[in-house]
Amino acid sequence: MSTPPPTTREFMLGEGSGTGSGQTLQVGVGPAHPAMHGIIRIITEIDGEFIRKADVEIGYLHRAFEKDCEVGGYNNAIPYTDRLNYVSPLINNFAYASAVEKLLGIEVTERCKFIRTAMAEISRICDHLTCVGASAMELGAFTVFLYMIKAREFLWELVEDVTGARLTISYGRVGGVKADLPDGFAAKVSAAFKETRGVLDEVHRLLTGNRIFLDRMVGVGALSREETIGYAITGPLLRAVGVAYDVRRAHPHWAYDRVEFEIPTQKDGDNYARYLVRMAEMEQSMRIAEQALAMMPGGPVNVDFEGRPIDPAAYVDQGKQGKTEGLLLLPIRLSPNLQGQSREALQQVNAADKRVVLPPKETAYGSIEGLMNHFMLIMEGYGIRPPKGEAYFASEGANGELGFYVISDGSDRPYRVRCRPPCLPPVAALPRMIEGEQIADLIPTFGSVNMIGGELDR
Amino acid sequence: MTGEQILRRLRDRFGSAIVETHEFREDTTAVVDRGSLVDALRFCRDEPALDCDMLTDLTAADYLKYPGREDGPRFEVVYQLFSLVHNHRVRLKVRVDEDDAVVPTAVGLWPIANWLEREVWDMFGVRFEGHPDLRRLLMYEEFVGHPLRKDYPINRRQPLIGPKA
């Protein structure tokens, strides 16, 4: 009696290599793999189709964010924060600026708060669209990806209108924002949201009841409530296990205490629950942004060190001879690059604190006081100087709690900036989500974690 | 609970092991003696009135060049705790010297401490006693030094290590 011929699998991997034999095979996924959304390496030990053990290796995108923050002034870190979560950079900008404002003890103007709220929500929708679209694409639903990227394109056009850039926007400033909203912004937003709602509706019909999608998502990658909390996971993943924690509600900042919104939750904590939470959150974000734009007050955008709205025209020249006054009143044509930097617009969005916020360009170019003010903020050794101390400010990033912990030694440079990256905890918990499941399930689970290399590795 | 109440609870329970407390910009901070650190963390987590079930963040700071603290203990390891139930935050800190930069691990209390402690070890060179797997997290194994230390120059270059041939 002859033994049966080896299967192809046994021929390739050796005798007895089928499932259940106890012989495992090490398979590295990434670092450069199309489904890894960036650069990350997952080392899996598989037994047949099943993952027995997994280890996640990160750091491929480490670029010394925290170290770099320590060598420049407080506003110099703003461009670096763009590159943390590069899908929703506005939230990082604002959260970092708010942490420094907390350290300074200043309050930004009402208009600025509403601008931050509206722009943060638009960014959050972009982030969720990217996450859901990319995960759906990896499950074969390429249509959904294209639809969602189309919707994101409409939103990025809004971001471009406001900030002048699509991705590296550097729009936040300590004490305010770079510039006021462009004219007719609310109308553009409502047009873009109409498109986005159409796309979400289509995606719901394509995916939410789709048999193939359900088979890949329901019950896959689940994490229990206890473990989710133990891993300090926040954001959509925490809300997918039924905990209605949202920094926007728990620690209201900007204008979140004045808008109405719901916190969508699910119970199961699997990939499908995360998908549903994200889909529902996009609608809530649109609600928030619409309310914020409808309630948008006039008035100053930047405030000063003591929290008073800045009126550069008022401080320039008081008690002086008044010779520069005529200069200040001269209409100055700004270069298109400085649009939104004119006095009127800048005052609306910035805190009235000349120790924190740069003066409007007319003032800087038109009066010696304005020029000195500008230099005092820009020159090395001057700049923004919070008192000695430390502050932790948390905001709701697209992936969860985005915290900035800033320590000041009283100089013009942050002594230490720590970013609490919202997607590090779920990536740390990733082995717990994928162990015991099939290797093909790694893809949707990893997609639902929404790893963003920029903030994970900093 | 307000920050003051939290601090009072901690002082009542740990007495002189609470080295220092302060509230600044509505943030509540307690500096804990290293010997009582794990007990204090466990107390914050398990005491029903505190119930800090989440270790939001764990990081460190190097006070080597901080004005007025050049001679004090060099490192501070910072634990940001948060309670989902009570919605309050408290920050615990522990100070360690450079030549004895060892802190007991919190992996037994929160699984996330595993990665966060690895990051602190990687960036600051503070060891966590009892950590099951204290490897570097962000930098590569062959990297020399701990980049977030204040005496690590920002422009230092190190050879990039490729995959082993």
Question: For the domain that residue A220 is a member of, what is the CATH number?
Answer: 1.10.645.10
A154-178 pLDDT tens trace? 998 888 888 888 888 888 888 888 7
Residue A13 counted as domain residue:
yes
- Quick one: A165 and A265 in the same domain? yes
Residue B26 zone, left/alpha/beta (φ > 0; ψ -120 to 50; rest)? left
Residue A3 counted as domain residue:
no
In chain B, the percentage of residues whose pLDDT exceeds 70 is: 98
Chain A positions in Cβ-Cβ contact with residue B156 (cut-off 8 Å): none
C-alpha dihedral sign at A272, A274, A280, A286: negative
Structure tokens at A379: 């020159």
Least confident range from A127-131, A379-383, A425-429, B119-123: namely A379-383
Please give the Cα distance from B135 to B122 (Å, whole number): 7
- Of B18, B60, B16, B62, the C-alpha closest to B37 is B18
Confidence band, pLDDT 50/70/90 cuts, at residue A326: very low
Residue A306 counted as domain residue:
yes
Q: Quote the DSSP letter at residue B23.
A: E
- Quick one: A193 and A117 in the same domain? yes
Q: Do A409 and B59 touch (CB under 8 A)?
A: no
Interface of A with B in 349-388 (CB under 8 A): 388
- Quick one: A439 and A290 in the same domain? yes
- Quick one: A367 and A250 in the same domain? no
Among candidate residues A378, A399, A434, the one where a domain is terminated: A378
Residue A98 counted as domain residue:
yes
Buried b (16+ CB within 10 A) or exposed e, A211-244: eebeebbebbbbbeeebbbbbbbbbbbbbbbebe
Distance of CA A10 to the CA centre of its chain: 47
Among candidate residues A21, A38, A57, the one where a domain is terminated: A57
Task: Answer yes or no: is pLDDT of A318 > 70.
Answer: no
Q: What is chain A's mean pLDDT, rounded?
A: 81
- Quick one: A390 and A270 in the same domain? yes
- Quick one: A212 and A347 in the same domain? no
- Beta-bridge partner residues of B24: B27
Q: Suggest the residue from B78, B115, B123, B149 to mutate for an interface test with chain A (most A CBs closer than 10 A).
A: B115
Q: Suggest the residue from A229, A246, A385 to mutate for an interface test with chain B (most B CBs closer than 10 A).
A: A229
Helix, strand, or coil here: A51?
Answer: strand
pLDDT number for residue A334 = 46
Q: Do B111 and A409 touch (CB under 8 A)?
A: no
Chain B positions in Cβ-Cβ contact with residue A392 (cut-off 8 Å): 27, 57, 80, 89, 91
- Quick one: A248 and A344 in the same domain? no
- Quick one: A170 and A256 in the same domain? yes
Q: Where are the domains of chain B?
A: 3-66+73-104
- Quick one: A157 and A201 in the same domain? yes
Interface of A with B in 220-279 (CB under 8 A): 227, 229-232, 243, 245, 250-251
Residue A220 counted as domain residue:
yes
Chain B positions in Cβ-Cβ contact with residue A245 (cut-off 8 Å): 84
- The domain of A359 spans 301-378
Is the ipTM above a cut-off of 0.90?
A: no
Helix, strand, or coil here: B79?
Answer: strand
pLDDT number for residue A125 = 92
Task: Answer yes or no: is pLDDT of A297 > 70.
Answer: yes
Confidence band, pLDDT 50/70/90 cuts, at residue A95: very high
- Quick one: A430 and A317 in the same domain? no
User: What is the total count of domains within chain A?
Assistant: 3
Structure tokens at A353: 């604190």
Interface of A with B in 69-98 (CB under 8 A): 70-71
**CATH number belonging to domain B3-66+73-104:** 3.30.460.80
Mean pLDDT of A314-323: 42
Q: Do A68 and B61 touch (CB under 8 A)?
A: no
A39-58 pLDDT tens trace? 888 888 888 788 888 888 88
pLDDT number for residue B10 = 84
Please give the Cα distance from A345 to A332 (Å, whole number): 14
Residue A355 counted as domain residue:
yes
Confidence band, pLDDT 50/70/90 cuts, at residue B64: confident
- Quick one: A123 and A79 in the same domain? yes
Helix, strand, or coil here: A13?
Answer: helix
Q: Nearest CA of chain A to the CA of B126: how many Å?
A: 16
Question: Cα(first)–Cα(last) distance of chain A, in Å?
Answer: 63
Question: Can you give the three-state secondary structure of A117-138, one letter per residue?
Answer: HHHHHHHHHHHHHHHHHHHHHH
- Of A399, A426, A422, the C-alpha closest to A228 is A426
Confidence band, pLDDT 50/70/90 cuts, at residue A398: confident
Q: Do B59 and A410 touch (CB under 8 A)?
A: no
CA angle, residues A457, B78, A402, in degrees to nearest 5: 45
- Quick one: A116 and A137 in the same domain? yes
pTM for the predicted model, two decimal places = 0.82
